Amino acid sequence: MNKLQLKRYAKLLAKVGINPKKGQWVIVYPELDQPEFTEWVVEELYRAGAGKVTVQWAHQPISKLKYKYEKEETLSATADWEIERLKLYQKELPAMLYLLSEDPDGLSGIDQDKATRSRIARSKVSKPYRDAMDNHYQWCIAAVPGKAWAKKVFPDLQINRAVEALWDAILKASRADGPDPVREWARHNDNIASRCDHLNKLGLVALEYKAGNGTDFRVGLMNESLFLGGGETTLEGRYYNPNIPSEEIFTSPKAGDAEGIVYSTKPLSYQGELIEDFSVRFEKGKVVEVKAKKNQELLEKMISMDDGAAMLGECALIADDSPINNAGILYYNTLFDENASCHLALGKGFANCVRGYEDLSPEELAKLGLNDSMIHVDFMIGCKDMQITGVTAKGERVAIFKDGNWAF
């Protein structure tokens, strides 16, 4: 790959993804397979104003060994030093950049019951600290190509060629394949903001989805729900982009108000395994039935993680005629596949999708209908014949999507 272009991508992640304050601490979370690109990102973060950059390496095969050999009690424990670290994060509010590259099937074969119980136990400790940090710091999820991931996406290519092909796909999807990705993202964010503004003026209280594959679904929205997309702003006023790439406009629906059935249109990579060809049926706002041709049991475990895991935290709208979808690539990675297709997310909702959230307590947000959970898992439901209708408080029906694309 062209190193100049990769360095432009690194600059994009630093300046647009994170946009650090002068002197801010930034933590980068990469896998071991991209040391050179991580070095470029770290340098760009310093150039963008970061005062300290910490790299916390991970390696999926080692994670798999931990699940295989460690006792559940060990996996479930949160050490005192980890709690102190969470306290430090809550105090210092470092920005966090996640560089995804792991194998979509990389944890296949682990004891998922053991893994799920250990995640629940650790989440009970970490969640209060992470909740307290919400909307107070910048974070960004982006990607670099791992070898196993590249081979999954391009199985007919040799490893090196597959990695190059995935690099090319990532840069194009991320609008980072041109001479000035930072300027391109400024235009992209302006376009998304304009569409969000239109949706927010409609006063929608529900969305209705229908498609030829059997999807027939209605979800309620809070009166205070806001549609967001592209860049976001922390409560301290720092603008950043949490996802690169991002084509979505999203909102958090009203917990407990969802009826009908939706069918997946792309595989879901969850906890290192793929869930494929599945459906989710809702009654009175909760998932009451899931079916999957592959890994149904894992899907069932996911929706039982806690009380909020079986309710919705997000509805996201992405045109079928989006750049990522038009590439015709199945990435087997939620960051990309969710931005190629309308999707829903089970679990935690976004507080900043509620008007006036900065003045509301968690209890007040929950009373309005914002869902809470230890998980937030996106799954894709968009397709070429997807019809989405918005319903206003006055009962007016407004076309939002027609034949898979924006109706306005």
Start-to-end CA distance of the chain, whole Å, equals 38
For residues 79-107, give the mean pLDDT: 97
pTM (predicted TM-score): 0.90
* pLDDT-derived band at 190, boundaries 50, 70, 90: very high
pLDDT at residue 174 above 90?
yes
Cis preceding-peptide flag for 245 (omega within 30 of 0): yes
pLDDT in tens, 311-352: 999 999 999 998 899 999 999 999 999 999 999 999 999 999
Nearest to 3 by CA among 246, 171, 200, 135: 171
* Token code pair at residue 202: 């409609």
pLDDT number for residue 52: 98
Q: Which helix (H) or strand (E) holds 37?
A: helix 35-47
Compute the CA torsion angle 109, 114, 115, 121 (nearest 10 deg): 180
DSSP per-residue codes, 357-382: GGG--HHHHHHHT----S-EEEEE--
Angstrom distance (rounded) from CA 177 to CA 170: 9
CA angle 244, 47, 2 (to 5 degrees): 55
Structural contact between residues 67 and 114, judged by C-beta atoms closer than 8 angstroms = yes
| Architecture in CATH for domain 3-173 | 3-Layer(aba) Sandwich (3.40)
- Which region, left, alpha or beta, applies to residue 328 given φ > 0 means left and ψ of -120 to 50 means alpha? left
pLDDT in tens, 322-331: 889 999 999 9
pLDDT in tens, 247-291: 999 999 999 999 999 999 999 999 889 999 999 999 999 999 999
The tally of CA atoms less than 13 A away on the side-chain side of residue 112 is: 18
pLDDT at residue 1 above 90?
no
Chain region(s) in the chain for CATH 3.40.1830.10:
3-173
Nearest to 49 by CA among 25, 13, 17: 25
